[in-house]
Structure 1
Amino acid sequence: MMKQGYTMLRLILGDQLNAKHHWYQSTNPDVLYVIAELKQETDYVVHHQQKICAFFAAMENFAKALQQAGHEVLHLTLDDTESYTDLLQLIASLCEQYQCQGFEYQQPDEYRLSEQLSSLTLDGVTIQTTDTDHFLLPLTEIDQYLTAGKHNRMEHFYRAMRKRFNILMCEEKPEGGKWNFDQANRNKLKPTDIAAIPQPLMFTNDVSDITERLARHSISTIGFSPQYLLWPVSRKQSQALLEHFCRYLLPHFGRFQDAMTTHSDSAWSLYHARLSFALNAKMLHPMQVIQAAMNAYQQPNSEINIAQVEGFVRQILGWREFIRAVYWLNMPHYGENNTLSANRALPAFFWHGKTQMQCMSYAIKQSLEYSYAHHIQRLMVTGNFCLLTEIAPSEVEQWYLGIYIDAIEWVEKPNTLGMALFADGGIVATKPYAASGAYINKMSDYCASCHYDVKKKVGSDACPFNSLYWRFMAQHRVLLAKNPRVGMLFMHWDKLDDSEQAAIIAQAEHYLNDLDAL
Structure 2
Amino acid sequence: MSTLRIVLGDQLTRSLSSLRDYEPGDTVLMMEVLEEASYVRHHKQKLTLVFSAMRHFAEDLRRDGMSVDYVTLDDPANTGSFTTELERAAARLAPSRIVVTEPGEYRVRQMMDTWGAEIRNDDRFFATPASFAAWAGARKQLRMEFFYRDMRRLSGLLMDGDEPEGGQWNFDQDNRKALPKDVLPPKRQRFEPDAITRGVMTMVAERFGGHFGDLEPFGWAVTRTDALEALSHFITACLPNFGDYQDAMRQGNAFLFHSILSPYLNIGLLTPREICDAAEAAWRSGDAPLNAVEGFIRQILGWREYVRGLYWLKMPGYAETNALAAHRALPGFYWTGKTEMNCLAQSIGDTMRHAYAHHIQRLMVTGNFALLAGLDPKEVQQWYLLVYADAYEWVELPNTHGMALFADGGIMASKPYAASGAYINRMSNYCAGCAYRPDVKLGPKACPFNYLYWDFLMRNEQALKTNPRMAMPYRTLAKMDEAKKTEITAEARAFLDNL
Structures share fold, TM-score greater than 0.5: yes
Say whether residues 1:131 and 2:115 are aligned partners: no
Residue number among 265, 280, 287 corresponding to 1:294 in the alignment = 280
SS of 1:508's partner is helix
SS of 2:494's partner is helix
Write the deviation string for residues 267-315 of structure 1: whole angstroms up to 9, x where unpaired. 100000011011110111111001001111111xx24111111101111
Q: In the TM superposition, what is the alpha-carbon distance from 1:83 to its structure 2 partner?
A: 4.0
Gaps of 5+ in 1: 1-5, 122-126
Residue number among 190, 199, 205 corresponding to 2:193 in the alignment = 205
| Counterpart Cα distance in 2 of 1:422 and 1:344 | 15
Q: In the TM superposition, what is the alpha-carbon distance from 1:171 to its structure 2 partner?
A: 1.4
Q: Is the 8 A contact 1:148 1:329 kept in 2?
A: no
Q: Cα–Cα, structure 1 residues 25 and 120, in superposed 2: closer, same or farther, change >3 Å?
A: closer
Write the deviation string for residues 348-393 of structure 1: whole angstroms up to 9, x where unpaired. 1111101000000000010000000000000000000000111111
Aligned to 1:124: none
Residue number among 377, 384, 388 corresponding to 2:372 in the alignment = 388
Say whether residues 1:318 and 2:307 are aligned partners: no
Aligned to 1:479: 463
| Counterpart Cα distance in 2 of 1:508 and 1:27 | 61
Say whether residues 1:425 and 2:409 are aligned partners: yes
Q: Cα–Cα, structure 1 residues 39 and 21, in superposed 2: closer, same or farther, change >3 Å?
A: same
Q: In the TM superposition, what is the alpha-carbon distance from 1:23 to its structure 2 partner?
A: 4.6
Residue number among 275, 294, 309 corresponding to 2:261 in the alignment = 275
Q: Is the 8 A contact 1:371 1:405 kept in 2?
A: yes
Aligned to 2:50: 55
Aligned to 2:32: 37
| Counterpart Cα distance in 2 of 1:58 and 1:439 | 38
Say whether residues 1:256 and 2:245 are aligned partners: yes
Q: Is the 8 A contact 1:43 1:219 kept in 2?
A: no
| Counterpart Cα distance in 2 of 1:310 and 1:319 | 12
Aligned to 1:166: 156
Q: What is the identity, as a one-letter code, of the residue corresponding to 2:418?
A: A
Q: In the TM superposition, what is the alpha-carbon distance from 1:488 to its structure 2 partner?
A: 1.6
Residue number among 448, 454, 458 corresponding to 2:442 in the alignment = 458
Aligned to 1:437: 421
Q: Is the 8 A contact 1:42 1:219 kept in 2?
A: no
Residue number among 122, 132, 146 corresponding to 1:156 in the alignment = 146
SS of 1:367's partner is helix
Q: In the TM superposition, what is the alpha-carbon distance from 1:132 to its structure 2 partner?
A: 2.5
Q: In the TM superposition, what is the alpha-carbon distance from 1:166 to its structure 2 partner?
A: 1.2
| Counterpart Cα distance in 2 of 1:18 and 1:218 | 27
Q: What is the identity, as a one-letter code, of the residue corresponding to 1:261?
A: R
Say whether residues 1:402 and 2:386 are aligned partners: yes
| Counterpart Cα distance in 1 of 2:136 and 2:439 | 42
SS of 2:28's partner is strand
Q: In the TM superposition, what is the alpha-carbon distance from 1:139 to its structure 2 partner?
A: 2.4
Q: Is the 8 A contact 2:129 2:313 kept in 1?
A: no
| Counterpart Cα distance in 1 of 2:441 and 2:77 | 54
Give identity over the alignment, percent: 42
Aligned to 1:3: none
SS of 1:205's partner is coil
Q: Is the 8 A contact 2:106 2:315 kept in 1?
A: yes
Write the deviation string for residues 320-341 of structure 1: whole angstroms up to 9, x where unpaired. 1001000000001100000011
Q: Is the 8 A contact 1:78 1:217 kept in 2?
A: no
Aligned to 1:244: 233
Q: Is the 8 A contact 2:5 2:18 kept in 1?
A: no
| Counterpart Cα distance in 2 of 1:448 and 1:513 | 26
| Counterpart Cα distance in 1 of 2:475 and 2:23 | 70
Gaps of 5+ in 2: none
Residue number among 87, 92, 97 corresponding to 1:92 in the alignment = 87
SS of 1:472's partner is helix
Q: What is the identity, as a one-letter code, of the residue corresponding to 2:190?
A: M
Say whether residues 1:447 and 2:423 are aligned partners: no
Aligned to 2:174: 184
SS of 1:14's partner is coil
| Counterpart Cα distance in 1 of 2:43 and 2:494 | 32
Q: What is the identity, as a one-letter code, of the residue corresponding to 1:456?
A: V
| Counterpart Cα distance in 2 of 1:99 and 1:177 | 58
Q: In the TM superposition, what is the alpha-carbon distance from 1:220 to its structure 2 partner?
A: 4.3
Q: Cα–Cα, structure 1 residues 218 and 448, in superposed 2: closer, same or farther, change >3 Å?
A: closer
Q: What is the TM-score normalised by the length of structure 2?
A: 0.97
| Counterpart Cα distance in 1 of 2:368 and 2:309 | 24
Q: Is the 8 A contact 1:18 1:284 kept in 2?
A: yes
SS of 2:99's partner is strand
Q: Cα–Cα, structure 1 residues 22 and 89, in superposed 2: closer, same or farther, change >3 Å?
A: closer
SS of 1:485's partner is helix
SS of 1:313's partner is helix
Residue number among 2, 18, 23 corresponding to 1:7 in the alignment = 2
4+ aligned runs moved over 6 Å, structure 1: none
| Counterpart Cα distance in 2 of 1:376 and 1:205 | 29
Q: Cα–Cα, structure 1 residues 167 and 83, in superposed 2: closer, same or farther, change >3 Å?
A: closer
Write the deviation string for residues 420-466 of structure 1: whole angstroms up to 9, x where unpaired. 00000011101111111011111111111110111112111211101
SS of 2:24's partner is coil
Q: Cα–Cα, structure 1 residues 472 and 192, in superposed 2: closer, same or farther, change >3 Å?
A: same
| Counterpart Cα distance in 1 of 2:249 and 2:185 | 12
Matched ranges for 1:287-366 at <5 A: 287-299=273-285, 302-366=286-350
Number of residue pairs matched? 497
Q: Is the 8 A contact 1:187 1:256 kept in 2?
A: yes
Q: What is the identity, as a one-letter code, of the residue corresponding to 1:244?
A: H
Q: Is the 8 A contact 1:17 1:281 kept in 2?
A: yes
| Counterpart Cα distance in 1 of 2:152 and 2:279 | 15
